[in-house]
Chain A
Amino acid sequence: MPNVTMTVNGKKMSGNVEPRTLLVQFLRETLGLTGTHVGCDTSQCGCCVVHVNGDGIKSCTILAVQCDGADVKTIEGVANGDELHPMQAAFREHHGLQCGYCTPGMVMSALDLVKHNKNPSEPQIREWLEGNLCRCTGYHNIVKAIKAGAEAMAKARP
């Protein structure tokens, strides 16, 4: 079995994987990082979005071996210790989550959006969430949270 090494949330992590092992399986099963979820088998729900080398990627649609040497960030690596990241805090403040299952993917997608667009409008946020399904919130408060989160991040930037 090939051995892969990647930097996950700032720490070097290694493991032996079958070539068919998906990144999400490596994260959940080998590394025990179960914050990244799987909600479908057709690469559409976005529950599994993580960042690979800074880009939002569906971790269910990439092999772990393809990420050998990559820098991976998951929901577990977003907060600064006990302090929630401004985007996480905005989700809490605006009730942008209910059951919490789609939430990690939503937060990771939202952070990817802010990377591309520092001040997204409501329509831009809604369009960006094309690949993230939520069944609880009707998206209303997720959209609000992402807008507020982006604004908070802009303020926090020097």
Chain B
Amino acid sequence: MTARLIGDPVRRKEDRRFLTGKGHYTDDINRAGQVYAVFVRSPHAHAEIKSINTKRAAGAPGIVAVYTGADLVKAGIGTLPCGWGVKNKDGSPMAEPPHPVLASGKVRHVGDPVAVVIAESKAAAEEAAERVDVTYKELPSVTAVDAAVKPGAPQLYDAVKGNLCYDWHIGDKAAADAAFAKAAHVTKLDIVNNRLVPNAMEPRAYIGDYDRATGEHTLFTTCQNPHAIRLLMGAFVLHVPEHKLRVVAPDVGGGFGSKIYHYAEEAAVTWAAAQLGRPVKWTAERSESFLSDAHGRDHVTHAELALDLSGKFLGLRVSTLANLGGYLSTFAAAVPTYLYATLLAGTYTTPAIYAEVKGVFTNTVPVDAYRGAGRPEASYLLERLVDKAANEIQIDPAELRRKNFIPKDAYPYQTPVALAYDSGDYFATLDMALKAADYAGFAKRRDDAKRHGKLRGIGLATYIEACGVAPSAVAGALGARAGLYEVAAVRVNPTGSVTVLTGTHSHGQGHETTFAQVVAERLGIPIDQVDVVHGDTAKTPFGMGTYGSRSLPVGGSALVKALDKVEAKGKKIAAHLLEAAEADIEFKDGKFTVAGTDKSKSFGEVALAAYIPHNYPLETLEPGLDETAYYDPKNFTFPSGAHVAEVEIDRDTGVVELLKFTAADDFGRIVNPMIVEGQVHGGLAQGIGQALFEECRYDPESGQLVTGSFMDYRMPRAGDLPSFAVATHATLCTHNPLGVKGCGEAGAIGAPGAVMNAVLNALSTVGVSDLQMPATPERVWRAINDSKAAA
């Protein structure tokens, strides 16, 4: 009997190398003869480049080369492509101005690269970079999204009127207006979703290499999706065919979305390596990461919720301004549209929804998907709105939610904003979370806190997310310019061990363990007989990488399909070896057995026969046991859950202390509960960070990034957080073979709403009814003071 592995907290296969300092991150790699790149970046938010003089730099000690945008244009290098096109309300395409690898003509944000300096050492390159003389003519800049759409705002592009990339909408406006016309109560909310900096602990790093003899380019990169980078960079930027371009993403130190995109520096080092015939390495300084990694969120929204007398939601109207930054990053257009507004039904039966979103260019770093990507923005908006409505109509927030939840028996449930949910049980997760958080006992805790002079609050949020990105045809119809299937190859070795090649990429998620669990259980072999290979286009088949909680729902499904094929072929081989009919062969616990007999062949014996086909049906069956499968999902998956936060506020200082955080999530079937919990913990810290600490700020006058290092950008620390109480309740995904939904983003989606509702619950006792994230000490202190003054 083989142990069941799916559902076990198997300790991770990858840990030993990370714990002993033997991880292999991009910056750990050094190539013989390598030189070092440093980028010269714009110190201005918005400026014309009058001239770039590289003479002094070219004479610097150790210098190898200096390239500017003009050099790249001369070489025929393309611009960085956007992977998703969004249409305006009138059906016309969005504005898609070019995003050059090195700025030419104009710079559009502080940190925009204008030249790359390459030298024998990093220090020499830094010194030479200071000798690149760029003359700028400064222009007025605009960094705030609401300021950028105002008449008279500085314009980033001549060809883009009003800085408007697109003006998009979804839903039925007439139906929503009709719902508001008959509403007994309307709740209105103006809300900001603060801009965040992803800050994976490993800064981006790239090494370009070129083999003159074979004409093959290689890029080592800190990315989440090497095949996508190969396609984007090869086809659109460098014009190198795939078979001459290898992209390797070795161990990657966290991504959270920020390492999905094709970045200028990748193209620059790959191209420069071929020009110079030497490997070119670039590693970002953290301060450079702040100025060049895609940021997240940054919405300004007005929303209105219509309710009937009983508290049933009748309609929702949402109008959002989404900051896209100075250029369109790879998936920027999709995040505030298809990943945001399609989630506005949330867990509720709201029958009429209309949302409009303006995507806006500003003089800031490009904004793209960051953990949750659009879904945290939708969930935060909804959950703040629902709590506000509950306060206004004097009903318990949990009760109002229950009243509007999609019933358990309503699946599949078609929302008014395109998505069809396959499964869920929002009542169960809410009850679970409230019980674990002792919601019922809160009043006593609040009174106790009051006696100690503290304001205590409790807040909840429910969420739904669309994960398992994505059904390709659906995504394509909505503007995606890539397929979103996944692929896995199961290579059974002659002695019965297995190598899995996956198109997903693990940068903390533990695929080497989870995927091995799926394989080992299915094939009945020990888990140490399974290795998972990812992150190298020369090894793995063309898959789309890891983001959008897709690896197990989509990549795992491809893996199951490949295992199906292995089993089917194994049965054929076993039937031959056992001189039985194929239909009579059963495969269980690593053994092929003739049904109803004790005649069997082990998995290892069948594997060996496949590669040493001395006694083998060669006329009808190819040798070998190596199967590849592609899986394109039928639908998104819909993880959901309920989160409860409890806080105490120090009235004198405004400091918010998070005392307790409870999460009850539905991720469908769980393969490794230990890894799932870890994913939830991490997401929660980022969501709590957004609610209480983190905010990327630009100076509105100069356009300078004010929070440009960890000295000013407030990262969550261990001391800021409690231990979390997390639990799961599974309803299985109905359309993928594992029944899994994905768990990577949930924490970041549910936490902001829960925490802010708790903060506002605490502050409600002193008359504060609104507050924007993050609830920093001074902001909370001011809110308390202002309400005192108003009273």
Is A7 in contact with chain B by the CB < 8 A criterion? no
Q: Do A103 and B199 touch across chains, with their CB atoms under 8 A apart? A: no
Q: Is the Cβ of A97 less than 8 Å from the Cβ of B15?
A: yes
Q: Does any Cβ of A come within 8 Å of B382's Cβ?
A: no
Within 8 A of B (CB), among A31-82: 33-42, 44-45, 47, 74-76, 78-79
Stretch from B248-256, B434-442, B762-770 at the A interface: B248-256
**Which residue in A102, A107, A130 is a CB contact (below 8 Å) of B201?**
A102
- The answer to whether A44 and B253 have CB atoms under 8 Å apart is no
Is the CB–CB distance between B719 and A95 below 8 Å? no
Q: Which residues of B contact A111 (CB under 8 A)?
A: none
Cα distance, A143 to B253, chains bound together (Å): 20
CB-based contact B710/A141 at 8 Å: no
Q: Are A45 and B201 in contact (CB under 8 A)?
A: yes
Chain B residues closer than 8 Å to A127, beta-carbon distance: 718-719
Interfacial chain A residues near B202, Cβ < 8 Å: 37, 39, 99, 101
B682 pairs with A136, CB closer than 8 A = yes
Given contacts A35-B23, A95-B12, A102-B201, contact A137 B18 (CB under 8 A): no
A70–B579 CA distance with the chains assembled, in angstroms: 71
A45–B286 alpha-carbon span in the complex (Å): 10
Enumerate chain A residues within 8 angstroms of B711, measured Cβ to Cβ.
42, 44
Whether B20 lies near A76 (C-beta < 8 A) is yes
Whether the pair B718, A125 counts as a contact (CB closer than 8 A) is yes
A98 sits at the interface (CB 8 A): yes
The answer to whether A84 touches B20 (Cβ under 8 A) is yes
The answer, yes or no, to whether A2 is at the interface (CB within 8 Å) is: no
Say yes or no: B719 contacts A107, CB within 8 Å: no
Question: Which chain A residue shows the least CB distance to B29?
Answer: A34
CB distance from B723 to the nearest CB of A (A): 5
With a CB–CB cut-off of 8 A, which chain A residues contact B254?
98-99, 101, 135-136
Chain B residue numbers with a CB within 8 Å of A78 are: 20
The one of B20, B285, B721 that contacts A41, using a Cβ cutoff of 8 Å: B285
Considering only residues 105-145 of chain A, those with a C-beta below 8 Å from chain B are: 107, 122-123, 125-127, 129-130, 132-144
Which residues of B (8-31) have their CB < 8 Å from a CB of A? 11-12, 14-23, 25, 27-28, 30
Q: Is B702 an interface residue when CB atoms closer than 8 A count as contact?
A: no
Asked whether B719 lies within 8 Å of A104 as measured between CB atoms, the reply is no
**B201 and A39 within 8 A (CB):** yes
Interface string of B491-510 (1 = CB under 8 A from A): 00000000000000001111
Is B686 in contact with chain A by the CB < 8 A criterion?
yes
CB distance from B291 to the nearest CB of A (A): 12
The answer to whether A100 and B18 touch across the interface, beta carbons within 8 angstroms, is yes
A35 touches B22 (CB 8 A): yes
Q: Bits for B218-235, please: 1 = Cβ < 8 Å to A, else 0.
A: 000000000000000000
Which residues of chain B have C-beta atoms less than 8 A from A123's C-beta?
A: 719
A129-B718, A129-B719, A136-B254 known; A97+B18 contact, CB < 8 A: yes
B136 at the interface (CB under 8 A from A): no
Q: Tell whether B678 is near chain A: CB-to-CB under 8 Å.
A: yes
Among A29, A138, A143, contact of B684 (Cβ-Cβ < 8 Å)? A138
B685 contacts chain A at the CB level, 8 A cutoff: yes
The answer to the question of B621 belonging to the interface, with a C-beta cut-off of 8 Å to chain A, is: no
Q: What range describes how many residues of B lie at the interface?
A: 35 or more
Contact of B21 among A35, A39, A99 (CB under 8 A): A35
Q: Count the A residues whose beta carbon is within 8 Å of the partner chain — how many?
A: 57
Judge if A91 is at the interface, Cβ distance under 8 Å: yes
The answer to whether A135 touches B20, judged by C-beta atoms less than 8 angstroms apart, is no
Whether A37 contacts B25 in the complex (CB less than 8 A), given A99-B508, A100-B14, A136-B682, comes out as: yes
Max chain B CB contacts within 10 Å: which of A38, A44, A45, A98?
A98
Is B740's CB within 8 Å of the partner chain A?
A: no
- Whether, in the assembled complex, A20 has its beta carbon less than 8 Å from a beta carbon of chain B, the answer is yes
CB pair A126 B718 closer than 8 Å: yes
Which of B19, B123, B508 counts the most chain A CB atoms within 10 A?
A: B19
Q: For the complex, is B717 an interface residue (Cβ under 8 Å from A)?
A: yes
Q: Is B715 an interface residue (CB 8 A)?
A: yes
Q: How far is the CA of A137 from the CA of B200 in the complex (A)?
A: 12
CA distance A122 to B23 in the complex (A): 28
**Residues of B with C-beta under 8 A to A76:** 20-22
Q: Does B739 contact A (CB under 8 A)?
A: no
Which of chain A's residues have a CB closer than 8 A to the CB of B25?
Answer: 34, 37, 101
User: In the bound complex, how far is the Cα of B675 from the Cα of A130, in angstroms?
Assistant: 25
B368 → chain A closest CB, angstroms: 17
Q: Closest Cβ of chain B: how far from A52's Cβ, in Å?
A: 16
Shortest A49–chain B CB gap in Å is 12
Q: Which residue of A lies closest to B674 (CB)?
A: A95
Measured CB to CB, the residues of B under 8 A from A are 11-12, 14-23, 25, 27-28, 30, 123, 198-203, 251-254, 256, 285-287, 507-510, 674-675, 677-678, 681-686, 709-711, 715-719, 721, 723-724, 747
Q: A103-B19, A139-B681 are in contact. List 4 more A-B contacts (CB 8 A).
A: A95-B11, A99-B251, A103-B18, A133-B715
Q: Which residues of A contact B (CB under 8 A)?
A: 18, 20, 28-29, 33-42, 44-45, 47, 74-76, 78-79, 84, 88, 91-93, 95, 97-104, 107, 122-123, 125-127, 129-130, 132-144
7 nearest A-B pairs in the assembled complex, by CB-CB distance: A35-B21, A100-B18, A101-B253, A138-B685, A99-B508, A98-B508, A138-B681
